[in-house]
């Protein structure tokens, strides 16, 4: 039921008009994108990733991130750009690793932030996009990088982009200039420059 809720609420807008600048997109997403920190049972930090708000329901806020961001976590913290931290509950784990099942849904109690809009149609090659997330360390929280859609892979379920996607960017949104999410950043090739990937909105 969570997937149906997310699809209905977030895909009402057709996201056709490229009406935003990069600066405006940076401001628009500030209350939508979060940093995710995970810890083991001894409160030792396991990892770091990114995520974004997808829905409000029944006094709860829901987030999308990658499954590999929260793997083996006993505690999951959501950190907002203003520094506030909320403890998250795992709702759904696709169990994937850098594939179309690499999806997890988290929730917190309370209505916080604003849900993103997710594009309905698959965007075309060459479309300008930006990625937002926290690459590598909390010091680089809310980093914005710009690029294009380089290709569509795996029958449109995976977007290849030259937008910079580094460790910690995983789970963050890939956004076009309509202000809508077209994918969830997932991985990059360490051995090649400008070859990075996101799960496409066809899956989300």
Active site residues: 68, 102, 170
The residues with which 47 forms a beta bridge, in sequence order, are 38
CA–CA separation, 165 and 175 (whole Å): 13
Find the DSSP H helices in the chain: 2-10, 22-28
User: How far is CA 76 from each of CA 37, 45, 88, 91, 197, rounded to the nearest angstrom?
Assistant: 6, 10, 5, 12, 24
Q: Minimal CA–CA distance to 107: which of 68, 56, 147? A: 56
Q: CA nearest 29: which of 172, 203, 196?
A: 172
CA separation for the pair 92, 114 (Å, rounded):
20
Half-sphere exposure of 76 (CA within 13 A, CB side): 26
């Amino acid at each position: 039921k969570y997937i149906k809720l997310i699809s209905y609420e977030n895909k009402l807008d057709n996201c056709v008009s490229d009406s935003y600048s990069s600066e405006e997109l940076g401001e628009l997403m500030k209350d939508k994108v979060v940093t995710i920190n995970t810890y083991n049972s001894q409160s030792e930090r396991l990892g770091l990733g990114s995520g974004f708000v997808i829905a409000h329901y029944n006094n709860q806020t829901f987030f999308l991130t990658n499954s590999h961001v929260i793997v083996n976590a006993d505690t999951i913290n959501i950190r907002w750009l203003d520094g506030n931290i909320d403890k998250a509950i795992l709702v759904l784990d696709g169990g994937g690793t850098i594939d179309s099942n690499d999806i997890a849904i988290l929730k917190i109690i309370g209505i916080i932030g604003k849900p993103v809009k997710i594009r309905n149609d698959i965007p075309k090659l060459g479309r300008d996009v930006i990625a937002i997330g926290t690459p590598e360390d909390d010091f680089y929280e809310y980093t914005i990088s710009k690029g294009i859609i380089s290709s569509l892979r795996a029958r449109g379920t995976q977007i290849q982009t030259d937008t910079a996607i580094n460790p910690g960017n995983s789970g963050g949104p890939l956004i076009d200039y309509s202000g809508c999410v077209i994918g969830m950043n997932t991985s990059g090739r360490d051995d090649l420059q400008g070859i990075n990937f996101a799960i496409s909105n066809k899956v989300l």
